[in-house]
Amino acid sequence: MAYRQRRVVGILPLVLVNSLLFGRFLTTSPFLTFGGIACDDEDVASALVGRAIKIARDHQVTYVELKNDTSYRCLSDTKTGYSTLMLDLSPGGDEIWKSKLRPSARRNVRRAEKAGLRVVEGHEHLDAFVDIYARNMHRLGTPTHSRDFFESILEHFPKTLLLLVQHRNSYIGGTLLVPFRNTILMPWVCGLQEYFDLRPNNLLYWESIVRACDRGFRQLDFGRSKWNSGTFNFKSQYGAQPIQLYYQYLLNTARAVPSVDPENPRFKSVIAVWRKLPLPVVNFLGPYIIRNIP
């Protein structure tokens, strides 16, 4: 924390990670899109970075990763591949439906409703959400979080909304919506591919907007996506606007900026093998692996 005349003017959260896969490093806001330096001005940022360099040396880490929605001049190594997509909720649900949603999004929401899909809300649906999330991550070739991880979020952030899409008597999609001040965030969304033709995710996104508006939130953060990717374009249908993210690095003993990205070619063979493993196996191993990839 940085102080100026006994007043807090800056904060930099750092979490020490000892990863069997990627070594020893410091990062801000593990598992989240951003949440790095919060400060009054560039001088404060420089002071925080200076202390972070000392901490990196003291703890003998290879690098420090700072996930920001602002670029700081005191950090020269920067990756800009991601944006988070933010929707202004102030017009209200009716106006967002008429003027923000693209015609294709409105058609797909209606298609989901005509197919009989409905959205239910409540923390009691956690087991169903964890099951869908695990199956979705397995399809993508990515390790999954444990049930305990999501249960801890609901425990420590009790105002978190848990929404599930139902088709007849089956759950086919879900999301966690985590509130912070006047913003509600959507860090985790999942759906079963075999039901995609019914457009469950379209209904899920729309219901998230409606419920966020009803609760008085001013912004909905749909989470990060690569520019012009499939998820980026999907979120853009709902009127969300991109905000550039800056992943900035302090290299201590590392020779180059790390590339911990599923699209990195060196991970393709691992992802392919992971997809072929039985679901019970990946559900058991996943939490032990993903804790090393924050």
Residues 145-194: tens digit of each pLDDT: 999 999 999 999 999 999 999 999 999 999 999 999 999 999 999 999 99
Q: Is there a single domain that holds both residue 53 and residue 137? A: no
Q: What is the DSSP string of the chain?
A: -EEETTEEEEE---EEEEETTTEEEEESSTTSS----EESSHHHHHHHHHHHHHHHHHTT-SEEEEEESS--TT--EEE--EEEEEEE-TT-HHHIIIIIS-HHHHHHHHHHHHTT-EEEE-GGGHHHHHHHHHHHHHHHT-----HHHHHHHHHHSTT-EEEEEEETTEEEEEEEEEEETTEEEEEEEEE-GGGGGG-HHHHHHHHHHHHHHHTT-SEEEEEEEETTSHHHHHHHTTT-EEEE-EEEEEESS-SS-----TTSGGGHHHHHHHHHS-HHHHHHHHHHHHTT--
Return the pLDDT at 150: 96
Please determine, for residue 24, whether its predicted confidence score (pLDDT) is greater than 80.
yes
| Mean predicted lDDT score pLDDT of the chain | 92
Please determine, for residue 30, whether its predicted confidence score (pLDDT) is greater than 70.
yes
- In tens, the pLDDT along 99-131 reads 999 999 999 999 999 999 999 999 999 999 999
Q: Per-residue pLDDT averaged across 141-148, rounded?
A: 92
Please determine, for residue 32, whether its predicted confidence score (pLDDT) is greater than 80.
yes
Return the pLDDT at 245: 94
Q: Per-residue pLDDT averaged across 18-36, rounded?
A: 86
User: Would 268 be classed as within a structural domain?
Assistant: no
Q: Per-residue pLDDT averaged across 17-35, rounded?
A: 86
Return the pLDDT at 258: 81
Which band of pLDDT confidence, cut at 50, 70 and 90, is reported for residue 291? confident
Q: Is there a single domain that holds both residue 224 and residue 255? A: no
Return the pLDDT at 262: 64
Q: Is there a single domain that holds both residue 65 and residue 201? A: no
User: Would 164 be classed as within a structural domain?
Assistant: yes
Beta bridge pairs of residue 198: none
Q: Which structural domain, as residue segments, surrounds residue 16?
A: 2-80+245-260
For 3, counting Cβ atoms within 10 Å of its Cβ (0-12 exposed, 13-18 middle, 19+ buried), the class is exposed
Contact 244, 224 (CB under 8 A): no
Please determine, for residue 95, whether its predicted confidence score (pLDDT) is greater than 80.
yes
User: Would 279 be classed as within a structural domain?
Assistant: no
Q: Is there a single domain that holds both residue 105 and residue 202? A: yes
> Rounded to whole angstroms, how far apart are CA atoms 73 and 50?
13
CATH of the domain at 224: 3.40.630.30
Return the pLDDT at 115: 96
Number of domains into which the chain is organized: 2
CA distance readout (Å), 13 to 213, 217, 273 = 30, 26, 35
- In tens, the pLDDT along 252-287 reads 988 888 877 666 677 788 888 888 899 999 899 888
